[in-house]
Structure 1
């Protein structure tokens, strides 16, 4: 059995304090998303910036869920 695979593919119910961390991360990412929206011309690159910001938040949340 590979413990990393087991950990990555199981449900992680929120522990005390984790939902608040998720909220902080989402709020800061939303600030950056609005900055990108305001400052960058509509383009493929802008779309990729937003997509990768969304991915960053998801991976940051996964880090908290999987490792705390």
Structure 2
């Protein structure tokens, strides 16, 4: 059994304190998203930046959940 595969495709119920960590990450990312939205012109690059920021939040939260 490959532990990395098992961990990647298993639901991880939040442990005490984790929901607060998820919220903190999302709030900081939201601040950056508003800054990007405000100062970056509408463009493919802006769209990619927003997508990558969403990905960053997702991976950061996955790192908390899985470890």
TM range (shorter): over 0.9
Which segments of structure 1 move beyond 3 Å, counting only runs of 4 or more? none
Structure 2 spans left out of the alignment, 5+ residues: none
**TM-score (structure 1 length as normaliser):** 0.97
Structure 1 spans left out of the alignment, 5+ residues: none
| Partner deviation per Cα, 1:8-66 (whole Å, 9 max, x = no partner) | 11000000000000000000000000000000000000000000000000000000000
Task: Please provide the CA RMSD for this pair.
Answer: 0.3
Give the count of matched residue pairs. 67
**TM-score (structure 2 length as normaliser):** 0.99
